[in-house]
């Protein structure tokens, strides 16, 4: 009873959380969009970090990318358009994660496929192990007569405190 | 200067490494000792079963295992231990029988040997070594030097 | 000293080759004499690598810039503390360091097994010296740290020593950076020993439970070092890189995570083999995989095949490592395949609701994590090779893929230990899950009310509460059970319980550390950042903190110039503290670096960086980050370390088995005498 209560409550909370999260995503100021983009592209100065995280001071690459983003933002362009502009200028490597199309799809799908294959394997192994176990557990191989049982129990007491 | 010391060190270590190979044949035991003897292995496996049994009891008391399961699993574990114990006893009997047979063989040989002393026979356990060795292949006692030389 | 180091290097190579061959021969011929000689070769290998390391350190400490390596990575002004890490700052030195650590591990294995595992030792020496041969060969031929600088002119070659060296990368001149690489390397290198044990067990067909019990410890120690190394690396990134984070899914970071994950999988599944004699082939695969990933990690770090902040080295060791990795894979899988018949499972699974299947699923998730991280790390190379397009696989990819996997793993961390071995009743599952679930639901409700509305963050904290409650319940129930049976008071029962089965309860402590880590990770969702130009008297607001610039001072130290911004901080209008973020310019290295100002407590870190002065206004660029819960990441790391140490203390069954071994020895000795 208590279990079902907590489960339904959990579900409610999850649904609510999702709703709120998506609501929060909807309304964004240009500054926020700029920041989001800064996390989605990398700085090309060689630091290999995202544009927001580039630790170099006076980084020309960073300044150039930021400039392009702020120009686009000033024109009121949306996030996908700005990202496309960046890709047009610098190539796909500017994106912090490969876009999900073409060959790059494999980057995104392989971990999931691996997860599923692993799950399938794990379930197969569990089932294969499981089946013949029934008889094995049911019939002890040695009849446990009194002497043997006490010998075993004595030895157990000796070893295990 | 430093280079000379370093090279001396290298030579010293090389000698240190090679010397065991130069020791006379048969001066050490002729095979590497066994890591876990069959008897010890059986004992170890029993201990694992006891440990599992202990865990089972603990888990039962902590309320993780149902009573029926507990009882059947417990019997199961005990049977497993009993089986290992029987195997252990068999193993011991085999060893004892081997010793007995060896002793009989040795006695018979000793009778023969009283007439014709054999340089390869161990004075301690009267085992007849197949080769001239420094230590007895059966009991590991050092054989008297003169009997070896003959 | 250059020649002395070179002599050490050559001799180390010779000893390694000799040890490998003699070890293999000793195993084949079962010859104690040859084993003795091989063991001595291991000690010789150790002595010679030590000689090489000591010579290199001597060259560094005496500022001998005639040595190419010292001129490249050290300088006169470098403080002595940072001259020690020069040893592993460069490619050549770090490979030498790797070889030296390997020699320490192998020598320790030889000395600790003087009387034990005699049958296994020959091949253990052969395999580990094989690894030693590879590393000393690479060090000697392509990455020799003992090359000298010479000037070639018309009159011939003359020795040359520049007046000063290039100096150490200033990013590395930081206290946790002194310990980070050695820890990481101790982790990588140490995995060679369990690999050697596994191969030796296969080759000698000694596949009982002896080798796996011994090997488990040899995995735990490097696993622990690897973990320390990873956490120290995060700390270094947090304090030095100046972007307020500790993990960036950088290829080299990933490279250290991979063997850690594989080792974690092994440390779990090994329990099934010890207790139930199952999963024998799988455990072999995990040992091989862990070692393979360790070498792969070294390769990634050192070859520069994937660009990264860490991959300072771009050189020609790539092909060497590729061949070596291929040899490892081919050799180990062949040996494993030839011995498959000896690795039959001894038992069957009694029930799907059991600890065994819990471990199986844990392994599934951990291996999926390995695959995802590995794939993301090497994808740029694959994409370049197949599509000829350079792509970047950065944090957005890994966060998207790894957060769900991490949460699943966190759930199993709590759920797995609640299952009993062999068979768990449904009743007990219900009973055991009730308290943690209720507790987690309450915590979940509270944090939702307090404003945690992001799904992943909320779930992470919810699961943290669930796992923490389940761990506390495990300890409590265990202690209660023991109190009843042995009439002890609660604390005595708790202590005895833990010491009797250090592995289980040490493991729970490690799990608790993982919970704290995830609490710290969840905090990242609430990170707040702001930035401003500040001259004397300027103000900057960050949430309820107000920063006021009191002045900017500049000056010069032995090896760097600095520019410090003095900021007074008030919180909710009350004076709180004064902070001094600093910008340093290292002269020998000609590199700037930020020295952050940090004020941390358990709730949050106040993280202030100056990026130097803005050329137009002459004001300092100040970056303020409010980073909640970061401290819990470091605390979690400490707890994991403590739990690991606890689990390394022998449990009662291990003590019993040790006694058994002594009995056997005595019996054998008695037999020999009598």
Of A91, A102, A110, the CB nearest to C375: A110
Question: What is d(CA B11, CA B23) in angstroms, rounded to the nearest whole number?
Answer: 19
Question: What is d(CA A101, CA A108) in angstroms, rounded to the nearest whole number?
Answer: 9
DSSP lists the bridge partners of residue C57 as none
pLDDT range class, residue C674, cuts 50, 70, 90: very low
Q: What percent of chain C has pLDDT over 70?
A: 97
CB within 8 Å: B35 and C119: yes
According to the model, what pLDDT value does residue B150 have? 35
Contact C585, C602 (CB under 8 A): no
**What are C462-508's pLDDT values in tens digits?**
999 999 999 999 999 889 888 888 888 899 999 998 998 899 999 99
Q: How far is CA B68 from the centre of its chain?
A: 42
According to the model, what pLDDT value does residue A40 have? 85
Which of helix, strand or coil describes residue B1? coil
Contact C282, C340 (CB under 8 A): no
pLDDT at A137 exceeding the cut of 70: no
* Domain match, B133 and B94 both: no
Biggest alpha carbon distance in chain B? 80
| B92 falls within a domain | yes
Subunits next to B (3 or more Cβ pairs <8 Å) are A, C
Q: Is A134 on the interface with B (CB under 8 A)?
A: no
Which residue has 């296994």 as its token pair? C120
Count CB pairs under 8 A between chains B and C. Answer: 153
More confident residue, C547 or A89: C547
Lowest mean pLDDT across A80-89, B108-117, C268-277, C415-424: B108-117
When scoring B78, B86, B88 by the number of chain A Cβ atoms within 10 A, the one with the most, hence best to mutate, is B78
According to the model, what pLDDT value does residue A100 have? 79
Q: Is A137 on the interface with B (CB under 8 A)?
A: yes
CB within 8 Å: A119 and C364: yes
* Domain match, B129 and B82 both: no
Domains located in chain A, CATH noted: 28-97 (1.10.8), 105-159 (no CATH)
Q: What is the mean pLDDT of residues A97-115?
A: 85
pLDDT range class, residue A134, cuts 50, 70, 90: very low
This prediction's pTM: 0.88
pLDDT range class, residue B112, cuts 50, 70, 90: low
State how far residue C520 is from chain B, nearest Cα, in angstroms: 32
CB within 8 Å: C400 and A97: yes
* Domain match, B143 and B99 both: no
CB within 8 Å: C653 and B47: yes
- Structure letter (DSSP) for residue B24: P
CB burial of C157-168 (b: ≥16 within 10 Å; e: otherwise) equals: eeeeeeeebbbb
CA dihedral A139, C272, C474, A160 (to 10 degrees): 70
According to the model, what pLDDT value does residue C208 have? 84
Mean per-residue pLDDT over chain A, rounded = 74
* Domain match, B131 and B60 both: no
| B15 falls within a domain | no
* Domain match, B131 and B64 both: no
Report H helices in C277-354: 280-303, 318-338
Residues of C in contact with A42 (CB under 8 A): 392, 394
Q: How many domains does chain B have?
A: 2
Q: Is A97 on the interface with B (CB under 8 A)?
A: no
Q: Which of residues 11-30 of B touch C (CB under 8 A)?
A: 13-14, 16-21, 23, 28-30
Mean per-residue pLDDT over chain C, rounded = 89
pLDDT range class, residue B114, cuts 50, 70, 90: low
Q: What is the mean pLDDT of residues C407-413?
A: 94
| B11 falls within a domain | no
CB burial of C328-344 (b: ≥16 within 10 Å; e: otherwise) equals: beeebeebbeebeeebe
**What are C599-633's pLDDT values in tens digits?**
999 999 999 999 888 888 888 889 899 999 999 99
Which residues neighbour C134 within 8 Å (Cβ) at sequence distance 6 or greater? C320, C324
**What are A18-73's pLDDT values in tens digits?**
555 554 555 567 778 888 888 888 887 766 678 887 766 667 788 888 888 888 88
Q: How far is CA C259 from the centre of its chain?
A: 8
pLDDT at C177 exceeding the cut of 70: yes
| B82 falls within a domain | yes
The ipTM assigned to this model is 0.82
Question: What is d(CA B42, CA B34) in angstroms, rounded to the nearest whole number?
Answer: 14
According to the model, what pLDDT value does residue A4 have? 45
**What are the φ and ψ backbone dihedral angles of C229, each rounded to 5 degrees?**
-60, -45
Biggest alpha carbon distance in chain A? 92
* Domain match, B45 and B64 both: yes
Q: Which chain A residue is nearest to residue B76, measuring alpha carbons?
A: A140
Terminal-to-terminal C-alpha distance of chain A: 40
Count CB pairs under 8 A between chains A and B. Answer: 45
Of C391, C445, C621, the CB nearest to A93: C391
* Domain match, B131 and B87 both: no
Subunits next to C (3 or more Cβ pairs <8 Å) are A, B
According to the model, what pLDDT value does residue C464 have? 96
As separate numbers, helices (DSSP H) first and strands (DSSP E) second, chain B gives 4, 0
Q: Which of residues 97-116 of A touch C (CB under 8 A)?
A: 97-98, 102-104, 107-108, 110-112, 114-115
Q: DSSP readout, C445-482?
A: HHHHHTT---HHHHHHHHHHHHHHHHHHHHHHHHHHHH
Question: What is d(CA B24, CA B11) in angstroms, rounded to the nearest whole number?
Answer: 22
More confident residue, C52 or C149: C52
Which of C295, C299, C288 is CA-nearest to residue C330?
A: C288
Of C308, C448, C594, the CB nearest to A48: C308
Contact C559, C167 (CB under 8 A): yes
Lowest mean pLDDT across A129-138, A150-159, C48-57: A129-138
Contact C561, C554 (CB under 8 A): yes
Q: Which of residues 24-53 of A touch B (CB under 8 A)?
A: none
H or E, element range at C152: strand C150-153
**What are B75-85's pLDDT values in tens digits?**
888 888 888 88
CB within 8 Å: C438 and A110: no
**What are C217-244's pLDDT values in tens digits?**
999 999 999 999 999 999 998 998 888 8
Q: Is C349 on the interface with B (CB under 8 A)?
A: no
What crossing angle do the helices spanning B38-61 and A146-159 adopt, rounded to 10°?
Answer: 80
Q: Is B99 on the interface with A (CB under 8 A)?
A: no
pLDDT at A7 exceeding the cut of 60: no
Domain that includes residue B123, residue range: 117-150
Pairing of the two strands C545-556 and C560-571: antiparallel
Question: What is d(CA C407, CA C459) in angstroms, rounded to the nearest whole number?
Answer: 8
* Domain match, B128 and B106 both: no
pLDDT range class, residue B113, cuts 50, 70, 90: low
According to the model, what pLDDT value does residue C301 have? 78
CB within 8 Å: C40 and B16: yes
Long-range contacts of C479-483 (CB under 8 A, 24+ apart): C480/B62, C481/B58, C481/B61, C481/B62
Q: Which of residues 449-468 of C touch A (CB under 8 A)?
A: 453-455, 458-459
**What are C412-439's pLDDT values in tens digits?**
999 988 888 888 878 888 888 899 999 9
Question: What is d(CA A79, CA A69) in angstroms, rounded to the nearest whole number?
Answer: 9
């Amino acid at each position: 009873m208590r279990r079902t209560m907590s489960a339904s409550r959990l579900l409610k909370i999850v649904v609510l959380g999702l709703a709120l999260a998506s609501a929060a995503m909807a309304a964004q100021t240009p500054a926020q969009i700029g920041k989001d983009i800064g996390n989605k592209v990398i700085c090309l100065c060689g630091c290999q970090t995202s544009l927001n995280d580039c630790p170099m001071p006076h980084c020309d690459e960073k300044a150039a990318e930021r400039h392009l983003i702020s120009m686009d933002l000033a024109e009121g362009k949306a996030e996908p358009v700005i990202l496309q502009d960046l890709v047009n200028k610098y190539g796909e490597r500017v994106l912090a994660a490969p876009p999900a199309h073409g060959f790059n799809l494999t980057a995104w799908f392989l971990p999931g496929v691996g997860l599923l294959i692993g799950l399938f394997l794990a379930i197969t192994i569990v089932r294969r192990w499981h089946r013949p176990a029934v008889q094995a557990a049911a019939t002890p191989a040695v009849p446990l007569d009194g002497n043997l049982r006490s010998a075993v129990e004595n030895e157990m007491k000796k070893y295990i405190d | 200067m430093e280079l000379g010391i370093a090279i001396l060190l290298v030579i010293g270590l090389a000698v240190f490494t090679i010397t065991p190979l130069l020791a006379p044949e048969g001066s050490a035991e002729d095979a590497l000792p066994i890591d876990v003897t069959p008897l010890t292995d059986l004992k170890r496996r029993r201990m694992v079963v006891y440990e599992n049994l202990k865990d089972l009891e603990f888990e039962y008391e902590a309320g993780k295992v149902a009573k029926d399961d507990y009882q059947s699993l417990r019997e199961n574990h005990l049977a497993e231990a009993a089986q290992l114990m029987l195997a252990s006893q068999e193993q011991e009997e085999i060893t004892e029988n081997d010793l007995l047979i060896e002793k009989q063989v040795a006695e018979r040989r000793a009778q023969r040997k009283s007439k014709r002393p054999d340089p390869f026979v161990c004075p301690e356990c009267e085992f007849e070594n197949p080769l001239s060795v420094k230590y007895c292949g059966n009991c590991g006692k050092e054989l008297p030097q003169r009997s070896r030389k003959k | 000293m250059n020649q002395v180091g070179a002599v050490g290097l050559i001799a180390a190579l010779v000893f390694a080759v000799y040890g490998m061959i003699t070890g293999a021969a000793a195993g084949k011929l079962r010859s104690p004499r040859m084993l003795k000689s091989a063991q001595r070769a291991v000690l010789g290998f150790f002595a010679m690598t030590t000689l090489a390391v000591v010579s290199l350190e001597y060259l560094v400490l005496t500022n001998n810039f005639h040595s190419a390596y010292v001129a490249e990575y050290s300088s006169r002004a470098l403080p002595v503390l940072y001259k020690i890490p020069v040893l592993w700052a460069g490619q050549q030195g770090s490979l030498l360091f790797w070889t030296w650590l390997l020699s320490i591990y192998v020598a320790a294995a030889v000395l600790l097994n003087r009387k034990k595992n005699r049958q296994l030792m020959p091949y253990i020496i052969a395999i580990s010296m094989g690894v030693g041969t590879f590393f000393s060969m690479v060090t000697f031929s392509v990455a020799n740290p003992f090359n000298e600088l010479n000037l070639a002119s018309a009159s011939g070659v003359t020795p040359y020593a520049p007046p000063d060296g290039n100096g150490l990368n200033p990013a590395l001149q930081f206290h946790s950076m002194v310990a980070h690489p050695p820890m990481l390397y101790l982790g990588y290198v140490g995995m060679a020993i369990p690999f050697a044990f596994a191969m030796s067990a296969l080759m000698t067909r000694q596949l009982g439970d002896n080798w796996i019990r011994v090997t488990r410890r040899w995995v735990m120690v490097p696993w622990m070092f690897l973990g320390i190394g990873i956490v120290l690396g995060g700390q270094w990134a947090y304090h030095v890189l100046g972007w307020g984070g500790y993990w960036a899914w950088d290829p080299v970071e990933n490279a250290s995570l991979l063997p850690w994950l594989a080792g974690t999988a092994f440390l779990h599944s090994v329990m099934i083999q010890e207790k139930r004699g199952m999963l024998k082939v799988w455990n072999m695969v995990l040992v091989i995989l862990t070692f393979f990933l360790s070498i792969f990690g070294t390769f990634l770090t050192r070859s520069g095949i994937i660009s990264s902040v860490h991959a300072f080295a771009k050189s020609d060791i790539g092909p060497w490592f590729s061949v070596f990795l291929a040899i490892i894979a081919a050799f180990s899988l062949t040996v494993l395949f030839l011995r498959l018949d000896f690795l039959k499972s001894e038992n069957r699974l009694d029930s799907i609701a059991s600890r065994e299947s819990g471990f199986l699923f844990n392994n599934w998730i951990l291996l999926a994590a390995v695959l995802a991280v590995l794939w993301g790390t090497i994808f740029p190379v694959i994409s370049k090779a197949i599509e000829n397009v350079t792509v970047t696989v950065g944090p957005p990819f890994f966060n998207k893929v790894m957060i769900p996997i991490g949460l699943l793993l966190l759930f199993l961390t709590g759920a797995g230990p609640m299952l009993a071995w062999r068979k768990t009743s449904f009743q007990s599952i219900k009973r055991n899950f009730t308290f943690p679930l209720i507790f987690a639901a309450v915590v979940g409700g509270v944090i939702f009310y307090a404003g945690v509305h992001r799904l992943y963050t909320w779930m992470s904290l919810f699961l943290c509460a669930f796992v923490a409650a389940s761990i506390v319940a495990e300890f409590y129930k265990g202690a209660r059970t023991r109190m009843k049976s042995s009439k002890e008071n609660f604390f005595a029962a708790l202590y005895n319980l833990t010491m009797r089965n250090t592995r289980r309860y040490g493991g729970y402590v490690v799990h608790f550390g993982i919970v704290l880590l995830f609490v710290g990770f969840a905090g990242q969702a609430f990170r707040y950042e702001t930035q401003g130009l500040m001259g004397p008297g300027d103000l900057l607001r960050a949430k309820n903190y107000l920063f006021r610039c009191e002045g900017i001072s500049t000056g010069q130290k032995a090896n760097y110039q600095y520019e410090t911004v003095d900021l007074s901080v008030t919180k909710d209008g009350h004076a709180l503290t004064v902070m001094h973020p600093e910008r340093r310019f290292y002269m020998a290295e000609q590199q700037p670096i930020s020295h952050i100002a940090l004020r941390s407590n358990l709730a949050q870190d106040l993280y202030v960086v100056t990026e130097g002065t803005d050329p137009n206004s002459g004001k300092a660029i100040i970056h303020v980050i409010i980073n909640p819960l970061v401290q819990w990441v470091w605390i979690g790391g400490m707890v994991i370390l403590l739990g690991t140490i606890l689990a390394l203390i022998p449990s009662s069954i291990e003590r019993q088995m040790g006694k058994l071994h002594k009995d056997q020895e005595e019996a054998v000795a008695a037999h020999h005498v009598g």
